[in-house]
Amino acid sequence: MSYPAASALSLPPDVRPIVWRAMEQTVNGVVVSDATQPNNPLVYVNTGFTRMTGYPAQEVLGRNCGFLQLGDRDQPGVHRLREAIARGEDVTVVLRNYRRDGSLFWNRVEMSPVREATTGRITHFFAVQTDVTLEREREEMSQVRSLELERAIGSHPMGMVTLAADGRVTLCSPAGVALLGLGDGQVLGLSLSQLLKRVATLADVDSEQLPWPEPGQSCLWELRRPQQRVIEVSASSVGSLTGEQMAVLRDVTQQRQQQASRDHFLATAAHELRTPLGSIRGFTELMLMRNYNPEQARPLLETVLKQAVRLGGLLDDLLDLAQLDERGREAFALEPVDLCHVVRQASEVIEMPENRHQLVLELPDSPQWVLGHAARLEQVVINLMSNAVKYSPNGGRVCCRVAASSAEGECTLEVSDQGIGLSDEEIGRLFTRFFRANPGGPIPGTGLGLSLVKEMVERMNGRVDVNSTPGQGSTFTLHLVRPTGQHPS
């Protein structure tokens, strides 16, 4: 029995059979080539090489091992292997090799030169070959999954950040970069502590104060820069074996503002409801406790009625606002409506106290079609006309004018009065719920009418403008959209 390059290995005679048996029994391929002959022919291959490649020893001895690449020689690993042989250096490369049946397998080759003990001359090259096909396929599958994940994350409207097992950021979606206000290059590769430190500067807090949720939980980040926003961060495990995490970033600024607005609305509504209820209860108890004659009881009953009417109006407005908030643009269907007809109907229900006011309608002879909801639009016009009358306590002219707008596809409705007018500060808060101009005066109201006007008109794709001068009066202008296509004649 012969031993591969036994003299070159300089092994004691009693050790050589042990090495031989070990090389024959290993699952790896072991090959030895002769460096003293042209083209480095193989002089030994073990049984593991035969199992791996399908080539028996008699078919490969005397040949250069490059035959394993067939025609696929232009590989980076092949070039590195040649360079290592030329320099007489150790090298580890991964090659695409082909078995005897032509099937592809990935082969990790760990090659070392074997030198003479006395001269140091390279006589052989010794290489261990390992089939890493499954490992390579797993890497490729992982890369494919990463690409698919990157594509999915890149198109997702919510921000996403992935963390490797060591806690470093491996991916940050464009939406995530935009939400955090950081450049992509400022995020990738950061450790979790570094990421939190960067974000903490945007929140004006210490990084220790910025929470990071455990998988399956969420937390909130309140950022100050580049703009005020609240980010909800929800974490989850990508895989229990890999230790990777994914965090979903969601901008909840609007939801938080809406919640705060709802809380304020409910608190204010409760306060507003208590006022008429308190009056009704107080005057009713007073009448039950004492015996009033009809003449004395009448002003008390009038106050109870007035507060009951106010309470009913407030409840109606609250229900309308609740419907608009809940259903949004689906609160009512839009269709072509003749604005002139709506104005005429609204004018018939407007009360003119003591005939101090003159209601003037300036309407075109032909119908003016707008996109809206007839009942809701009539409610808007009644509200504006009633306000014009209420806020003109000394009487005067209330004019309602319908005209084509200078903007294409629009129609305008103007309601003007000669009343007390509004200051710039009051105009800025005019459409806020429960805000009332001249709240301490005798003019009744819920403070919800104009906010209803604004929300209803906006749900008809229109808008409301107001111009006013204190002491001279106000003009409210509705800009309404004309319907496209056919409409009733």
Same domain for 344 and 438? yes
Same domain, 288 and 191: no
Residue 260 has pLDDT above 50, yes or no: yes
Same-domain check for residues 175 and 314 = no
User: Residue 212 contacts by C-beta under 8 Å, 6 or more apart in sequence?
Assistant: 192, 196, 219, 233, 235
Which structural domain, as residue segments, surrounds residue 425? 332-481
Residue 139 lies in a domain: no
Q: Is pLDDT above 90 for 54?
A: yes
Give the mean pLDDT of 261-283: 72
Confidence of residue 3 (pLDDT cuts 50, 70, 90): very low
Which positions ≥6 away from 40 have C-beta within 8 Å?
33, 34, 64, 65, 85, 125
Quick check: 208 pLDDT over 50?
A: yes
Give 22 or 344, the one with higher predicted confidence: 344
Answer for the pair 126, 91: CB distance below 8 angstroms, yes or no: no
On whether residue 136 sits in a domain, the answer given is no
Whether 97 and 214 share a structural domain: no
Instruction: Tell me whether residue 113 is in a domain.
Output: yes
Domain count, the chain: 4
Task: Out of 131, 159, 189, pick the residue that ends a domain.
Answer: 131
The phi, psi pair for 169, rounded to 5°, reads -75, 120
455 within some domain: yes
Confidence of residue 2 (pLDDT cuts 50, 70, 90): very low
CATH assignment of the domain containing 426: 3.30.565.10
pLDDT of residue 4: 41
- 168: DSSP letter: B
CB of 110 closer than 8 Å to CB of 128: yes
- Kindly state whether residue 418 falls inside one of the protein's structural domains: yes
- Domain endpoint, select from 327, 360, 379: 327
* Residue 169 or 434, more confident: 169
Closest CA to 332 of 449, 434, 457, 447: 457
Q: Are 359 and 398 in contact (CB under 8 A)?
A: yes
- Is 33 part of any domain? yes
Q: Is the pLDDT of residue 314 over 90?
A: no
Clarify whether residues 306 and 265 are in a common domain.
yes
pLDDT in tens, 469-480: 998 999 999 999
- What percent of the chain stands above pLDDT 70? 82
This prediction has a pTM of 0.44
143 assigned to some structural domain: no
C-alpha to C-alpha distance for 234 and 240, rounded to whole angstroms: 17
pLDDT of residue 9: 47
Of the residues 98, 131, 164, the one at which a domain ends: 131
Within-domain flag for 488: no
117: left (phi over 0), alpha (psi -120 to 50) or beta: alpha
